[in-house]
């Protein structure tokens, strides 16, 4: 029997899935979402429509990656498990087949520093991980490498991954990264965008350490 906080987290995962489809970050049953729970994680089930999901359909993976629940976990459970195991700063993982991110990923292109907001993902680019078969350990390893020092990456010929402290933050980040991908694709239609120099991106990244933070008590 799940506790109230776990049941709420299960519901929030479903809301996040519905939100990423509503906001155009994902379509249909593509994509998957997870959130840290104790030493394990909760993750969306495999091949189930989001609007049909109930809290009990969300699968718990324990510290050893073993599933518990009524459903099979997402086919991409490996990179969710590996990311949350290796990235202590992450509380949630979102994977989507976002249209513009996927367009760039199918070209093997990263998102460079064409706009200062690229820093929202933690660096001066959103890297594109090399292709590997979905659900494989190789894909998970490639994603972890691409996410080193970053909160988002593209997956070649596949889609995108975002990580952040919680479900609200990871959905907001996914919207930002997809918006950047769309803007970059549009800029490429007119020519090769001007890339901001490394020194400027270092300044932006430093400013982003306090970006959006308000004084205590405000």
Identify the pLDDT of residue 212. 65
Distance CA 13, CA 7 (A): 10
Q: Cβ contacts of residue 196 below 8 Å, gap of 6+?
A: 113, 114, 115, 116, 124, 204
Identify the pLDDT of residue 214. 62
Residue matched to tokens 């190789």: 138
3-state DSSP of 9-45: HHHHHHHHHHHHHHCCCCCCCCCEEEEEECCEEEECE
* CB-based burial label for 182 (10 Å; 0-12, 13-18, 19+): middle
What is the reported pTM?
Answer: 0.94
Residue matched to tokens 């202590």: 88
Identify the pLDDT of residue 218. 52
Catalytic residues: 76
Distance CA 65, CA 135 (A): 14
Identify the pLDDT of residue 131. 98
Identify the pLDDT of residue 66. 97
What residues of the chain score a pLDDT lower than 50? Answer: 1
Identify the pLDDT of residue 1. 41
């Amino acid at each position: 029997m799940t506790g109230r906080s776990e049941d709420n987290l299960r519901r929030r995962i479903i809301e996040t899935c519905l939100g990423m489809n509503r906001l155009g970050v994902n379509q249909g049953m593509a994509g998957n979402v997870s959130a840290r729970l104790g030493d394990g994680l909760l993750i969306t089930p495999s091949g189930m429509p989001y609007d049909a999901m109930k809290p009990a359909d969300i699968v718990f993976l324990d510290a050893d990656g073993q599933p518990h629940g009524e459903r099979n976990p997402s086919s991409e459970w490996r990179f969710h498990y590996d990311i949350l195991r290796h990235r202590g700063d992450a509380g949630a993982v979102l994977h989507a087949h976002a249209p513009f991110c996927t367009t760039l990923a199918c070209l093997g292109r990263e998102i460079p520093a064409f706009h200062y907001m690229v820093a929202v993902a933690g660096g001066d680019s959103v890297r594109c991980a090399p292709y590997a078969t979905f659900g494989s350990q190789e894909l998970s390893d490639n994603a972890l490498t691409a996410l080193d020092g970053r909160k988002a990456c593209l997956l070649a010929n596949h889609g995108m991954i975002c990580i952040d402290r919680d479900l609200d933050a990871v959905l907001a980040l996914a919207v930002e990264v997809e918006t950047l991908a769309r803007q970059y694709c549009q800029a490429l239609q007119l020519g090769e965008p001007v890339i901001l120099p490394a020194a400027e991106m270092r300044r932006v990244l430093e400013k982003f350490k306090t970006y959006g933070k308000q004084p205590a008590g405000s």
